[in-house]
Amino acid sequence: MKEFFEIIFSFNLKKIFCEPTRNGLLQFFRYAFVGLWATLADWAMMFSMTEGLKVHYLLSGIVAFVMGLTVNFLLSKKFVFSGEEKQHSSSTEFAVYAIIGVIGLGLTELIMYVLTGRLKIYFMLSKIIATGVVFVWNFAARKIVLYR
């Protein structure tokens, strides 16, 4: 914990975001930052497909998921887990990453179906709620399975 705050309050952007680290708290901080970019890509795609192209919200959610997953994988590999020992080949790593993500997609679709399909909550609010739940799932599963 002390190391994390020392790094954060150093205001050294290279150390905060780029230098390899095995500090779980710093990794979580970076994962949240990376997740923000992936989430913005996901939400923008979903909104534009659903509102602009009139694609059903559950279908646009799947396409948006692929966009967010790709952004998240590339940025996480580069900035979040770069200090971890490599456990798998890159193709295996992406496959496991994708499987964890697909489980997250299933959770997202279920939450959105219940909130929007059944409770009639606006689809983007449902997406925001689902994103929070799935964020925690994705980090924990990827940290445990891929980047011990």
pLDDT digits (tens, 9 = 90+) for 99-122: 998 999 999 999 999 999 999 999
Under 8 Å CB-to-CB from 90, ≥6 apart: which residues? none
Q: Which residue has the tokens 């909104």?
A: 47
Would you say residue 116 lies in a domain?
Answer: yes
Distance, in Å, from the CA atom of 38 to the CA atom of 65, rounded to the nearest integer, reads 9
Q: Which residue has the tokens 């994708």?
A: 98
State both tokens at 121.
């909550």
Q: b/e per residue, 3-30, with b = 16+ CB within 10 A?
A: ebeebeeeeeeeebbeeebeeeebbbbb
Q: Give the chain's mean pLDDT.
A: 88
Distance, in Å, from the CA atom of 58 to the CA atom of 15, rounded to the nearest integer, reads 39
Would you say residue 11 lies in a domain?
Answer: no
- Report whether pLDDT(18) > 70: yes
Would you say residue 65 lies in a domain?
Answer: yes
Grouping H, G, I as helix, E, B as strand and the rest as coil, residue 67 is: helix
- Report whether pLDDT(19) > 90: no
Domain count, the chain: 1
Domain enclosing residue 67, as ranges: 26-145
Would you say residue 4 lies in a domain?
Answer: no
pTM of the model: 0.74
Would you say residue 3 lies in a domain?
Answer: no
- Report whether pLDDT(1) > 90: no
Distance, in Å, from the CA atom of 84 to the CA atom of 105, rounded to the nearest integer, reads 25
Q: In the chain, what percentage of residues exceed pLDDT 90?
A: 44
- Report whether pLDDT(46) > 90: yes
Looking at residue 87, what is its pLDDT? 64
Would you say residue 12 lies in a domain?
Answer: no
Tell me how far the alpha carbon of residue 143 is from its chain's centroid.
Answer: 12
- C-alpha dihedral over 9, 75, 136, 111, to 10 degrees? 140
Instruction: Please state which of the ranges 84-88, 115-119, 131-135 shows the lowest mean pLDDT.
Output: 84-88
- Report whether pLDDT(69) > 90: no
- Report whether pLDDT(75) > 90: no
